[in-house]
Amino acid sequence: MQQYKKRTHTCGQLRASDIRKQVTLTGWVDKRRNLGGLIFVDLRDRHGITQIAFEPDRSGACYELAKSLRSEFVISVSGSVVSRPEGQANKSMPTGEIDVEATELAILNKAETPPFPIEDSIDVTEDLRLKYRYLDLRRPIVQKNLLVRHRAYQVARSYFDRNGFIEIETPILMKSTPEGARDYLVPSRIHHGKFYALPQSPQTYKQILMVAGFDRYFQIVKCFRDEDLRADRQPEFTQIDVEMSFVDENDVLAITEGAIKEMFGSVIGVDTPIPFPRMTHKEAMEQFGSDKPDTRFEMKVGIFSEVVAESGFRVFSEAVKNGGIVAGICAPGAATYSRSQLDGLTDLAKTLGAGGLVYLKLQGDSIECSASKFVTAEETKKIAEALKAKSGDLVLIITGPWQKALTILGSLRLEMANRLNLIPHNKWNFLWVTDFPLLEFSEEDKRFVAVHHPFTSPKLEDIPLLDKDPAKARARAYDLVLNGTEIAGGSIRIHDSALQTKMFGLLGINEAEAKMKFGFLLEAFKYGAPPHGGIAFGFDRIVMYMTGSKSIRDVIAFPKTTSAMSLMDDSPSSVDLKQLEELHIRIV
């Protein structure tokens, strides 16, 4: 260890107005340029870069020491701020008008050559960045992302505080509950054979906080889900969790809109007009083939089942007869697609679960149909009209059950929009999707499962449907969508013990099981539960959008790979047998 001079300024701070000041800077050697009799060093900290000049006649002994400097050495440099010679200013740098002419140099730590350069535009594989995350995090662009994240935390906290919300921490070690995502389990040492779970969300706790009378709660909180990963999904992620008492949907939506407006406005200067447009789940599906529609571009889905209900083409008529739909999208200007491109789209549709893909190519007055043997010219004309297709367009048609056919079309819509470059990247399209179905039938489990979660209230007018036709019941649930990504979701909850018990029954959870798994909540509801509802924001995704990142990993300091590994510290990892014994666990 050595004594060294503490910095008087940061590396992004000095300007021409500081000339003749004696200063000390500390930081990392970003670049060194040894011109023989003169050495330049770019010194970097998180605030910026300042050029240090070492001249033999003025710098003396420290010039000799400067010869040994290499990339990423940590140094402390003292000297005077000088103006650069005429014509030598670097206009692309904020500090580019000055140099610090060194008179003292202390090497605080040497460094090995990093496996990749510490700069914004690097071309390396992501696993390397993740393995050396501490070096990746030195890169200005990554630091900027985390600064945006920091600003977003602060704005969110301030907003909810000002609006009367109370920040309360809920347990990380909690009871494992059925329903929903797979839990991460934590074995109990004290209680033989028993396990905690890490929260998928603080859902039950926040509802109980409402029973406790806290009225308005929020928390910026880690959630854990042991499911497969994606570019926008990590096993542990951060939510802004919100719950309010004595509210309806409009109250929650309004608070959320305020939060989003403030966050996007004050963190990245994007003005978001509120209130956001609303669309029912049915509308979203039937127009965009998605429950999180990207409305930055049109190419809406069109359903034309009635046009082809009597078609001689059995694929069409049978689909309608079986209660399904025939629908399509119109890709503008894609009639030039080659056979192999169309085969590629057909393959894509099939991997998404379609039986096949029928297409129409419109060129001039003629319409070429891939099923022209069976589909009449009259029918193709009507289909083209239904989708408002023009000459030069390509129509893609999918048949099948409502949900499935529309979902596939939704994927094709995004695929074609990407291929045809139809997505304007400067738009911020926020959108509420409401009136989700309450339940959906799980073929895997042969029972109904909650679309949102088991505590979501049905729409009041749909409560009678719970007995007659549960699949038709709609939920008091809402999702906030930004440019085709769900960034928040919530609902008005059930606050009545009897209705909650009924809901569990519909989900195939019998009374004994409900009591065992959720007894504490049902019990709490018996002691004066206020009507309540809330929402949770996908914080990482929001920051991803704010920073223009392509992956959630770019806005998380220490993310995991798509196989849920941390390459830097190599977790998960094996543990000592002794640890397992203490936990009464054996690996099989």
Partner RNA sequence: GGGGUCGUAGCUCAGCUUGGUUAGAGCGUCUGCCUGUCACGCAGAAGGUCGAGGGUUCGAGUCCCUUCGGCCCCGCCA
Interface with RNA (CB under 7 A), residue from 14, 53, 285, 354: 53
Interface with RNA (CB under 7 A), residue from 5, 7, 21, 84: 84
Which residue intervals of 354-484 are DSSP H helices? 377-386, 402-419, 465-468
Work out whether 55 is an interface residue with RNA (CB under 7 A).
yes
Work out whether 271 is an interface residue with RNA (CB under 7 A).
no
Identity of the residue, 328 or 454, whose beta carbon is nearer to RNA in the bound complex? 454
Work out whether 274 is an interface residue with RNA (CB under 7 A).
no
Angstrom distance (rounded) from CA 583 to CA 190: 8
Work out whether 558 is an interface residue with RNA (CB under 7 A).
no
Angstrom distance (rounded) from CA 224 to CA 237: 7
Work out whether 231 is an interface residue with RNA (CB under 7 A).
yes
319, 400 contact by CB (below 8 A): yes
Identity of the residue, 53 or 409, whose beta carbon is nearer to RNA in the bound complex? 53
324, 296 contact by CB (below 8 A): no
Q: Supply the minimum distance, in Å, between the C-beta of residue 247 and RNA.
A: 19
CA dihedral for 70, 75, 76, 82, sign (positive or negative): positive
CA-based nearest residue to 554, from 120, 165, 14, 247: 120
Work out whether 228 is an interface residue with RNA (CB under 7 A).
yes
Identity of the residue, 279 or 477, whose beta carbon is nearer to RNA in the bound complex? 477
Work out whether 562 is an interface residue with RNA (CB under 7 A).
yes
Identity of the residue, 324 or 490, whose beta carbon is nearer to RNA in the bound complex? 490
Work out whether 587 is an interface residue with RNA (CB under 7 A).
no
Q: Supply the minimum distance, in Å, between the C-beta of residue 534 and RNA.
A: 11
The number of residues in the chain equals: 588
CA dihedral for 326, 330, 336, 342, sign (positive or negative): negative
Identity of the residue, 42 or 249, whose beta carbon is nearer to RNA in the bound complex? 42
Work out whether 225 is an interface residue with RNA (CB under 7 A).
yes
Q: Which two tokens stand for residue 406?
A: 């529309």
Identity of the residue, 360 or 535, whose beta carbon is nearer to RNA in the bound complex? 535
Work out whether 70 is an interface residue with RNA (CB under 7 A).
yes
Binding residues for RNA restricted to 434-463, rule: CB under 7 A: 444, 449-454
Angstrom distance (rounded) from CA 50 to CA 13: 8
Angstrom distance (rounded) from CA 283 to CA 452: 18
Binding residues for RNA restricted to 414-433, rule: CB under 7 A: none
End-to-end CA, the chain:
49
| DSSP notation for 460-497 | GGGTTHHHH-GGGPBBSEEEEEETTEEEEEEEEBP--H
Q: Supply the minimum distance, in Å, between the C-beta of residue 328 and RNA.
A: 20
Work out whether 513 is an interface residue with RNA (CB under 7 A).
no
Report cis status (omega within 30 of 0) of the bond before 464: no
Identity of the residue, 378 or 445, whose beta carbon is nearer to RNA in the bound complex? 445
Q: Supply the minimum distance, in Å, between the C-beta of residue 182 and RNA.
A: 7
Identity of the residue, 56 or 392, whose beta carbon is nearer to RNA in the bound complex? 56
User: With 0-12 CB in 10 A as exposed, 13-18 as middle and 19+ as buried, what is 444?
Assistant: exposed
Binding residues for RNA restricted to 339-378, rule: CB under 7 A: 351-353
Interface with RNA (CB under 7 A), residue from 144, 182, 189, 191: 182
481, 293 contact by CB (below 8 A): yes
Q: Which two tokens stand for residue 34?
A: 């040894």
Query: Letter for the amino acid at 341?
Result: Q
Of the candidate spans 293-301, 332-340, 465-473, 555-563, the one that interacts with RNA by CB under 7 A turns out to be 555-563
Work out whether 56 is an interface residue with RNA (CB under 7 A).
yes
Q: Supply the minimum distance, in Å, between the C-beta of residue 552 and RNA.
A: 8
Work out whether 542 is an interface residue with RNA (CB under 7 A).
no
Q: Which two tokens stand for residue 102?
A: 């060194």
> Strand 48-54 vs strand 98-109: parallel, antiparallel, or unpaired?
parallel
Interface with RNA (CB under 7 A), residue from 7, 21, 31, 47: 31
Helices and strands of the chain, counted as H and E runs? 18, 22
Work out whether 471 is an interface residue with RNA (CB under 7 A).
no
Site string for RNA, 90-119 (x = CB under 7 A): x-xx--x--x-------------x-xxx--
CA-based nearest residue to 245, from 500, 528, 480, 461: 528
Work out whether 574 is an interface residue with RNA (CB under 7 A).
no
Residue in this structure with the two tokens 């009041």, named with its chain if needed: 460
Strand partners, 280: 434
Q: Supply the minimum distance, in Å, between the C-beta of residue 177 and RNA.
A: 7
Ramachandran category for residue 453: left, alpha or beta (phi over 0 → left; psi -120 to 50 → alpha):
beta
What does R_g of the chain's alpha carbons equal in angstroms?
30
Q: Supply the minimum distance, in Å, between the C-beta of residue 186 and RNA.
A: 18
Interface with RNA (CB under 7 A), residue from 229, 342, 499, 585: 229
Identity of the residue, 151 or 222, whose beta carbon is nearer to RNA in the bound complex? 222
Q: Which two tokens stand for residue 289?
A: 């083939």
Interface with RNA (CB under 7 A), residue from 145, 411, 457, 547: 411
Binding residues for RNA restricted to 190-219, rule: CB under 7 A: 200-201, 203
Three-state secondary-structure class, residue 229:
coil
Interface with RNA (CB under 7 A), residue from 15, 16, 22, 34: 34
Binding residues for RNA restricted to 280-339, rule: CB under 7 A: none
